[in-house]
Amino acid sequence: MSQTPSVSLRQLSHHELAHILRVTMRFGLLMLRNGASSYRTEHAMLRMAEVMGVERLEAYVTPTGIIASAYSGMEHRTQIMRLYALAVDMTKISLLERLSRNMPENPTPELVSARLDEIETMKHQYPRWQIALAVGLACGSFSILIGGGPLEFTAAAFGAAVAQTVRFTMHHYRFTALPTTILAAAGATLTSEVLITLLEVIGRSTGLEVRPAYAVIASVLVLVPGVPLVTAVLDLTYFDLVSGIVRGIYAVMLFGAIGIGMLSVLVWTGLRII
């Protein structure tokens, strides 16, 4: 673990303290927006503010916003920022964490802000079609793990790829997580069900047993809110009860959205998976 560079603290002016706090708050929002836990975000903000010359930073981080106060001698500034959209991008979290641990000596807010601009505007590490393909293969493989065969693999893979494509499209148009999850789950369920129904003909001719339920269940695996669940446990572990409970409720809401999307198609088509 790299050490935070030591800095000689001096009395910051009104403008300097406000500018540093604004950059630090932006850094924290970027961490939260891309899926970091509240505890991890708070500690990264403390490291960054210290290196930029802040004597003390008190931050209260929640999944939907940050309240922070910065102190330098007799100067004291407080800011509040809200967060309206959540996503998961581990590449950006890694870059932001690395930035907070490897700051240049005596950095200026302008320098840090320019680096944040680069991280915020960077494109996905992989093309969307590659992500959809990888998601499809992973969910298809899960269908085999729970007892399916090659036909269930094919149906689940296509269903998951459709779900991921729906997520990308709705994210582009700035839809929130709940309607996005509902439509993605419905798309995955409908696609996998239609495909497995068509593939049943092949199954009957080759003697393969077809289990539609395994294909449908595996196709929505990509929508399971794993990151919110993990960060909820981390926040609760560090006794950040508000953030942990909020993230846990958010994960439960996403599970409910998956159920709504699946049931809307299953009731319409009459397929039973239980």
pLDDT at 273 (0 to 100)? 64
Collapsing DSSP to helix, strand or coil, 80 comes out as strand
* One domain, residues 84 and 136: no
pLDDT at 87 (0 to 100)? 80
pLDDT at 123 (0 to 100)? 83
* Rounded CA separation 196/211 (Å): 8
* One domain, residues 190 and 222: yes
* One domain, residues 91 and 173: no
Cβ atoms of residues 28 and 70 within 8 Å? no
Which residues form the domain of 47?
14-121
Q: Taking phi first (over 0 means left), then psi (-120 to 50 degrees means alpha), and beta for anything else, what does residue 57 get?
A: beta
Which of 86, 121, 156 marks a domain boundary? 121
Which of 106, 121, 136 marks a domain boundary? 121
Question: pLDDT by residue for the chain (274 residues), tens digit each?
Answer: 334 444 446 788 888 899 999 999 999 999 999 989 898 999 999 999 999 989 999 999 998 899 999 998 888 899 999 988 778 888 999 999 999 999 877 788 999 999 999 999 888 778 899 999 999 999 999 999 998 888 999 999 999 999 999 999 998 888 988 999 999 999 999 999 999 888 877 766 666 777 888 999 999 999 999 889 999 998 999 888 888 999 999 999 999 999 999 999 988 887 766 5
Which of 121, 136, 159 marks a domain boundary? 121
pLDDT at 30 (0 to 100)? 94
Cβ atoms of residues 247 and 232 within 8 Å? yes
Q: What is the model's pTM?
A: 0.82
* One domain, residues 220 and 110: no
* One domain, residues 146 and 203: yes
- Angle at which helix 14-33 crosses helix 38-51, to 10 degrees, equals 150
Q: Does 9 fall in a domain?
A: no
Q: Does 8 fall in a domain?
A: no
Contacts of 175 (CB under 8 A, 6+ apart): none
pLDDT at 23 (0 to 100)? 95
Q: How many helices (H) and strands (E) does the chain have?
A: 10, 3
Specify the number of domains making up the chain: 2
Contacts of 88 (CB under 8 A, 6+ apart): 34, 35, 227
Name the token pair of 208.
């393969």
* One domain, residues 117 and 184: no
pLDDT at 2 (0 to 100)? 38
